[in-house]
């Protein structure tokens, strides 16, 4: 197995690198699916002109939010360091927070319903 540059890998690296090569394609497909899901949800919310903030707690990470981040409403992750667009987070964070997306969508709908009823 070549390392892509020059020379060969040390023997103790051959098995782990082979495993990475085997796993990487499936991981990349899953990552792309997750990115596509968030992009689709953000576009649908943008098309509906939903300017309602909402958030849900994510154990150990902070909050998954929908709110104004970087000048526009989008899905983001709120940590003690501040809000950052979901798309800018590492793959493991995206995967961990994806399971909270349905709860966030429900929270947006509930907040939208409340706002629509307020006079």
Specify the pTM.
Answer: 0.81
Task: Please provide residue 66's backbone torsions phi and psi, each rounded to the nearest 5 degrees.
Answer: -125, 115
17-38 pLDDT tens trace: 999 999 999 999 999 999 999 9
Number of structural domains in the chain: 1
Residue 20 in domain: yes
- 3-class DSSP assignment, residue 42: helix
Residue 64: C-alpha distances to residues 17, 19, 20, 73 (Å): 34, 32, 30, 13
Residue 85 in domain: yes
Domain extent, residue 94, equals 11-117
Reported confidence tier of residue 119, pLDDT bands at 50, 70, 90? low
């Amino acid at each position: 197995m070549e390392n892509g540059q020059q020379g060969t890998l040390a023997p103790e690296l051959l098995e782990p690198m082979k495993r990475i090569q085997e796993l990487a394609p499936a991981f990349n497909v899953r990552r792309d699916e997750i990115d596509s899901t968030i992009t689709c949800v953000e576009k649908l919310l943008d098309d509906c002109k939903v300017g309602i903030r909402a958030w849900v707690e994510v154990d150990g990470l902070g909050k998954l939010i929908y709110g104004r981040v970087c000048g526009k409403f989008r899905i983001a992750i709120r940590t003690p360091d501040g809000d950052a667009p979901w798309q800018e987070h590492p793959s493991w964070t995206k995967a961990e927070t994806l399971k909270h997306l349905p709860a966030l969508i429900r929270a947006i709908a509930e907040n939208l319903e409340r706002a629509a009823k307020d006079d």
